Structure 1
Amino acid sequence: MKTLLILACVLGLAPSAFAAGSGATGWAPAVLPQSVQRDLPSHHTGRSYRIFVSKPSAPAPATGYPVIYVLDGNAQFPLLALQARAQEKRAAVTGQAPTLVVGIGYPIDGLNDEQARAEDYTPPAADLSDTGDEQARRQGGADRFLAFVEDELKPLIERSYPVDRQRQTLFGHSYGGLFTLHTLFTRPQAFQTYLAISPSIWWNHRQILDEQRAFAQRLADRPQPLRLFLGVGALEQPSPLDAGGNDPRRQRLDSRRMVDNVRELAATLAPLERAGLRSQLRIFPDEGHGTTALVASGRALGFAAGQPE
């Protein structure tokens, strides 16, 4: 509930959203301006996705709109959409082109479909018996989900809006951050800019690092311009000095090493700048796993536009 209240307050929807649920009369559902949605079935994954789009009011540049694709769209899209509108109003000052925001979510009323995203956002593996996720019924569907994005979603967006194919960004948090890294490491040409926030590097014994090593070799052989933003909250990994080491939640956080994993990945990727990968690391002080997504999303559009962090 705390996360819901934070999100609602940030979006300015708290009074109407919560009063409507209390049975008060005279309230109508809140509507996000300049935004539309539809459900899109996928032949690749066998499930449907709720697609949210926020289109700028300004005409598209000659090359088309830059696009940012946002995973966990039910939760993450509203904030990015409102930020895109605010940036558009300040375009004369920032010089930033209006951005098309596309949220990829699920046809649910809540913020996340935990079972669906656990399957869609985790990479394939020969052995999924000990991934560290004890709740997910199915995992390892990231390649099918990426095929949906590339073969079904992107063509739909490009038929509907003028899009700059050379300015496309992927934004993901947690398992979405893991999927963002998987896409960068296995299909780097899919996007030009990647934002991996609190990525679940711990998943399946840090399998993603094997993909990173293969990617580093390919990029060294065939350089290409790519940009990566890595973000994590300082509170996502407890300090060794903190009390409560026997608490099960504390033990889980210790074992996942969220901050250390991101730091180590950033250090490993830094030498790839000469091959075209410009990466940045940001550790957000006083932020935990949930709030890091909110804070990092505030920087997503600027980073996608090439503004210095």
Structure 2
Amino acid sequence: MKKYFYLLTVFILLTACNKANEFKSNLKIENDSLRNKINELKTQIRLADSLKSTSQVTIANTDIKELTSKFNNQKYQIKISYPKEYFEKKENNYPVLYVIDAETNFGGVSYIVQRLIKDKLIPEILVVGIAYNTDYKNFYRLRSRDLTPVEDKHLRMGNKNVDPTGGAPKFSDFLEFELFPFIEEEFRTKKGDRAIYGHSYGGLFGSYTFLDKPHLFNRYLLLGPSLWYKEKLLVNQASNKSLSFNKPIKLYMASGEFDVRINDYQEEFVKFLKKKNILNLKLESEVIENETHRTIFGVGFTNGLRFIYGK
């Protein structure tokens, strides 16, 4: 009897110890979770404090408008950078450069444009940036939606959740039927002289308009184009599609030496176009040494502007 009592006591003690250990483990998990939430709140508080105490930087000769598209119900922030003497030279009309991803690149784009104009390497142009006026995370979801030509329900970027895709047709309708008429009514533009600048997904979107809606632009500056999208959909279209232009078109593409998959597909895309000997198309493609997907911007954008606006 004593033996059974001893065994029962040991069993009870072991069970109690296991429950205590389980309780401690659960308590540690809850504490770690609370600690992480507290750290996140502290970070948000520091960010809010920094925004309160930091004055905004204004870019000279710029303006901001807003348009809400009936095609996708999206409110867009439209950023405009004027040529320096736009308001003095009231008799002049200007070519327009439409800039994708102006959420992040509008300042850099505007500065390079100003430098090249000052050195008379490109003509005076009006820069129109398309942005969302949202936080960084939502910006990437919205550009994924707007800049991809067809839907891909399984695509994950960086092991994140599936982003919306396939909205390029609606976004291009926004450009053609809402943004272009607005800009051409509000500002002094050179009729029919429209360029597009896009990088990565923006380069994919530019390639889509080049193949499917070439009437939208006559100048294309596309960097690091994401032509891998949907199993090289647009590369295959470039191979199979019959292309003709009734006006002069300039296309500049560039990617970085270290952006291997991108530059491989870019060169394949360009190879198919060159084989077609397309009338009215002037084409330049570069794979630039010692550059990556991100660092291609400075040299690629500068070279591209000089090509699409050069003689």
Larger radius of gyration: 2
Whether the 8 Å CA contact 1:68–1:304 is kept in 2: the answer is no
Partner letter of residue 285 of structure 1? E
Partners of 1:46 and 1:184 in 2: how far apart?
25
* Corresponding residue for residue 295 of structure 1: 299
For residue 280 of structure 1, give the secondary structure of its aligned residue in structure 2.
strand
Instruction: Give 1:26 shift.
Output: 7.7
Partners of 1:78 and 1:23 in 2: how far apart?
21
Q: State percent identity of aligned pairs.
A: 26
Whether the 8 Å CA contact 2:64–2:80 is kept in 1: the answer is yes
Partner letter of residue 134 of structure 2? I
Of 168, 171, 191, the match for 1:145: 171
Instruction: Give 1:63 shift.
Output: 6.7
Q: Is residue 2:253 matched to residue 1:230?
A: yes
Q: Is residue 2:68 matched to residue 1:41?
A: yes
Instruction: Give 1:198 shift.
Output: 0.7
* Corresponding residue for residue 242 of structure 1: none
Q: Is residue 2:82 matched to residue 1:55?
A: yes
* Corresponding residue for residue 32 of structure 1: 59
Whether the 8 Å CA contact 2:62–2:81 is kept in 1: the answer is yes
Whether the 8 Å CA contact 1:39–1:107 is kept in 2: the answer is no
Partners of 2:51 and 2:131 in 1: how far apart?
29
* Corresponding residue for residue 142 of structure 2: 116
Give me the TM-score of the superposition, normalised by structure 2. Answer: 0.76
For residue 29 of structure 1, give the secondary structure of its aligned residue in structure 2.
coil
* Corresponding residue for residue 23 of structure 2: none
267-276 or 39-48, larger mean C-alpha shift? 267-276
Whether the 8 Å CA contact 2:257–2:291 is kept in 1: the answer is yes
Partners of 2:282 and 2:61 in 1: how far apart?
33
Instruction: Give 1:185 shift.
Output: 0.2
Partner letter of residue 42 of structure 1? S
For residue 189 of structure 1, give the secondary structure of its aligned residue in structure 2.
coil
Partner letter of residue 176 of structure 2? E
CA RMSD in angstroms comes to 2.6
Distance verdict in 2 for CA 1:213–1:131, change over 3 Å = farther
* Corresponding residue for residue 278 of structure 1: 282
Instruction: Give 1:300 shift.
Output: 3.6
Whether the 8 Å CA contact 2:224–2:254 is kept in 1: the answer is yes
Partners of 2:237 and 2:71 in 1: how far apart?
22
Distance verdict in 2 for CA 1:286–1:295, change over 3 Å = same
For residue 128 of structure 2, give the secondary structure of its aligned residue in structure 1.
strand
Give me the TM-score of the superposition, normalised by structure 1. Answer: 0.76
Whether the 8 Å CA contact 1:39–1:48 is kept in 2: the answer is yes
Distance verdict in 2 for CA 1:37–1:299, change over 3 Å = farther
Q: Is residue 2:89 matched to residue 1:64?
A: no
Partners of 2:183 and 2:174 in 1: how far apart?
12
Of 198, 204, 214, the match for 1:172: 198
Distance verdict in 2 for CA 1:129–1:109, change over 3 Å = closer
Instruction: Give 1:228 shift.
Output: 0.7
Instruction: Give 1:38 shift.
Output: 2.5
Q: How does 1:92-103 map to 2 (within 5 A)?
A: 94=121, 96-103=122-129
Point out where structure 1 has 5 or more consecutive residues left out of the alignment: 1-19, 238-256
Distance verdict in 2 for CA 1:24–1:264, change over 3 Å = closer
Greater relative contact order (CA < 8 Å, ≥ 6 in sequence): 1
Whether the 8 Å CA contact 1:273–1:279 is kept in 2: the answer is no
For residue 176 of structure 2, give the secondary structure of its aligned residue in structure 1.
helix
Whether the 8 Å CA contact 1:120–1:144 is kept in 2: the answer is yes
Point out where structure 2 has 5 or more consecutive residues left out of the alignment: 1-46
Q: How does 1:64-213 map to 2 (within 5 A)?
A: 64-91=93-120, 94=121, 96-110=122-136, 113-124=139-150, 128-131=152-155, 133=157, 135-213=161-239
Partner letter of residue 126 of structure 2? L
* Corresponding residue for residue 4 of structure 1: none
Whether the 8 Å CA contact 2:146–2:166 is kept in 1: the answer is yes
Whether the 8 Å CA contact 1:115–1:136 is kept in 2: the answer is no
Whether the 8 Å CA contact 1:130–1:204 is kept in 2: the answer is no
Partners of 1:136 and 1:22 in 2: how far apart?
33
Partners of 1:47 and 1:85 in 2: how far apart?
30
Partners of 2:142 and 2:51 in 1: how far apart?
33
Whether the 8 Å CA contact 1:132–1:203 is kept in 2: the answer is no
Paired residue total:
261
Whether the 8 Å CA contact 1:233–1:285 is kept in 2: the answer is yes
Instruction: Give 1:100 shift.
Output: 0.4
